[in-house]
Amino acid sequence: MAKLITAAQKIERARELIQQAREVPIPQRGGKYDLSYMAEVKGLLRQARDLVKLIPLTAGATPEIKAQSKKVIEEAEQANHEIFRG
């Protein structure tokens, strides 16, 4: 059975995934538009968003945790923009 993690742990893990996405090395062939590179980066960012997307909807989460989860989602979108357009 899967181990339950708290909302704070989910936020921390999501930020780690966003950092991993930023650190994926850009391949020499194809650059940042290489399909496997794009899939890996977008997969990491999707995992980060998926971890925190339901936190604002939970009744037990504090307003601070809800705000942090929304900020993580924004950070994932910003990372996507910076990696592929910046």
The total of other beta-carbon atoms located within 10 Å of residue 68's CB is 22
Give the distance from CA 32 to its chain's centroid. 18
Residue 1 lies in a domain: no
Question: 31-72: per-residue pLDDT in tens?
Answer: 888 999 999 999 999 999 999 999 999 888 899 999 999 999
Average pLDDT, the chain: 94
Tokens coding 12: 């921390």
First CA to last CA distance, the chain: 41
Looking at residue 8, its pLDDT comes to 93
User: What is residue 32's DSSP assignment?
Assistant: G
Nearest CA among 81, 74, 73, 70 for reference residue 49 = 73
Residue 2 lies in a domain: no
Tally of domains within the chain = 1
Residue span of the structural domain in which 46 resides = 7-85
Would the pTM of this model clear 0.85, i.e. be above it?
yes
Residue 32 lies in a domain: yes
User: What is residue 38's DSSP assignment?
Assistant: H
